[in-house]
Chain A
Amino acid sequence: MSEIRTIDAYLAEVRGHLSPLGASDRDEALVELESLLRADADRAGEAAAVAALGDPATYAAGVLEAFEPDEVAEADGRPVPQGHVLGMPYDFRGASVERIGSRVWNPADPRIFMPRMFGVGWTINLGAIAVTLGLIRPDDVGDESYDRIPKGALNVTLAVPAALAAIAVVLMVVAWPTLPAQVPIHWGVSGKPDGWASRTVVIGALLALAIVPAALTYARVLRRDVSARSRLLAAAGLGMEAVLVLGIAAVTVADANGGASGNWVLLVVLATLAVPFLMLYMPLRSGLRAEWREVRGQNGRSV
């Protein structure tokens, strides 16, 4: 590697090594580094300032270590948002199975409102809700529980998002001729629409949202080497998305036909919680029951 002599080259090099960091942390670290370098360059010259900091890879490693608590926390199952805006956590890194595992289904963590998986705001921790409702104890579900889920129960659960997406697609195709050129896309608190868009754009977007994430997720999780845990968590995340798409499609169609009201919107919101909740809780309960049946046969079984 050739000698780095300018501040910009050094910053670019460090930025490259900081890719594991979230964008906001990375930018913060780089802004700090740049002001440090510029102050030093004023005194000693640019090349000397850059040389004083040493190898950019080593410097970046130090920065990564300083930010490590978050990474460690995430690995421990304690969710860490990418950053905060106006006091609300945000995250635009996309939903990975680990993020679903640490936020949407994390019975060990009693917080019901978790930093959101994608976007701004909070995600509901369905695992904490199951614990609060007294359905499970915080440590009942372990990694083994996923492997004990009966094949049939797992397969049915995996099929739920596909079924929801298929219903949404059929509904939109069938209802297409009944839709006006402009359909509502936003509803006020009273349930009255207060925003409209072209039906081609709205239905096109909803069809894409029904099909594309499902196709991508199934292609990823139906491979042979994917664990039951990854499959279930990914399916639950997809189920939440599919029920939302179906709900929006249903409200749009019903509204065009004069049937939608504020209650519909509330129903959709509840369904986006209830569907993934059942998709996680029902199969995991079967998995736990399978573990417990074995204990009742013996005097205790290592798991």
Chain B
Amino acid sequence: MAAERDTRVSQFRKGALELVILALLDRGELYGVEIVDQLAERPGLEASAGTVYPLLSRLKKAGVVDTTWRESPVGPPRKYYRLSAAGTRELEEMSRSWRDIAAAIDGVLAEGAHDE
């Protein structure tokens, strides 16, 4: 049962991860490891580097995020990600859709609770 629940949670999370990353970047630019770390700090939103990096690369290709190299105190320069203008619009639209669907689902769940 626990395994089944995990799969369900991961299905939900997969779709939401893009929105979460855009929201994190909306507060300021981050480099790859910081994004993975910030997700890890939020229970339920942890995602492996193997999930995050391909997603970042897709967002970059789609023009939703821009990248900038910046000097790092240790090692070679780091690639920082930030929202592009299109990314800011995408974030607005995605958060609106997210709230709409969350409200709609909450509504259905509440109806179910009354029926019982």
B79 at the interface (CB under 8 A from A): yes
Q: How far is the CB of A129 from chain B (nearest CB, A)?
A: 14
Which residues on B sit within 8 Å (CB–CB) of A291? Answer: 69, 77
Contact A292 B69, CB 8 Å, known A108-B54, A139-B57, A140-B79: yes
B73 at the interface (CB under 8 A from A): no
Q: How many residues of B contact A (CB 8 A)?
A: 21
Are B57 and A108 interface neighbours, CB within 8 A? yes
Chain A interfacial positions (CB closer than 8 Å to B): 76-78, 107-111, 137-140, 142-143, 288, 291-292, 294-296, 299-303
Which residues on B sit within 8 Å (CB–CB) of A303? Answer: 67-69, 79
Residue of B nearest to A143 (CB): B61
A12 vs B61: C-alpha distance in the bound complex, in angstroms?
37
Are B57 and A77 interface neighbours, CB within 8 A? yes
Are B49 and A138 interface neighbours, CB within 8 A? yes
From B49, B58, B68, B80, contact of A77 by CB (8 A): B58
Which residues on A sit within 8 Å (CB–CB) of B80? Answer: 300
Which residues on A sit within 8 Å (CB–CB) of B57? Answer: 76-77, 108, 139, 142
Which residues on A sit within 8 Å (CB–CB) of B91? Answer: none
Are A108 and B56 interface neighbours, CB within 8 A? yes
Are A296 and B53 interface neighbours, CB within 8 A? no
Residue of B nearest to A76 (CB): B58
Task: Report, nearest first, the 10 A-B pairs whose CB atoms are least far apart.
Answer: A108-B53, A110-B50, A138-B53, A295-B69, A76-B58, A108-B54, A295-B77, A300-B70, A139-B32, A108-B57
A76 vs B58: C-alpha distance in the bound complex, in angstroms?
6
19 of the cross-chain contacts (CB-CB < 8 Å) are A108-B53, A110-B48, A137-B32, A137-B79, A138-B53, A140-B76, A140-B79, A143-B61, A291-B69, A291-B77, A292-B76, A292-B77, A295-B71, A296-B77, A299-B71, A301-B68, A301-B69, A303-B67, A303-B69
Contact A139 B53, CB 8 Å, known A76-B58, A296-B77: yes
Residue of A nearest to B82 (CB): A302
Which residues on B sit within 8 Å (CB–CB) of A299? Answer: 70-71
Residue of A nearest to B57 (CB): A108
Are A109 and B50 interface neighbours, CB within 8 A? yes
A294 vs B71: C-alpha distance in the bound complex, in angstroms?
11
Which residue, of A137, A140, A292, has the highest number of chain B Cβ atoms within 10 A?
A: A137
A142 vs B80: C-alpha distance in the bound complex, in angstroms?
12
Are A77 and B54 interface neighbours, CB within 8 A? yes
B11-64 contacts to A, CB under 8 A, are 32, 48-50, 53-54, 56-58, 60-61
Contact A300 B50, CB 8 Å, known A76-B58, A77-B57, A140-B79: no
Which residues on B sit within 8 Å (CB–CB) of A109? Answer: 50, 53-54
B61-104 contacts to A, CB under 8 A, are 61, 66-71, 76-77, 79-80
A77 vs B57: C-alpha distance in the bound complex, in angstroms?
8
Contacts A108-B54, A109-B50, A299-B70 supplied; 14 other A-B pairs, CB < 8 Å: A76-B54, A108-B56, A110-B50, A111-B50, A137-B32, A138-B53, A139-B32, A288-B76, A292-B69, A292-B76, A292-B77, A302-B67, A303-B67, A303-B68
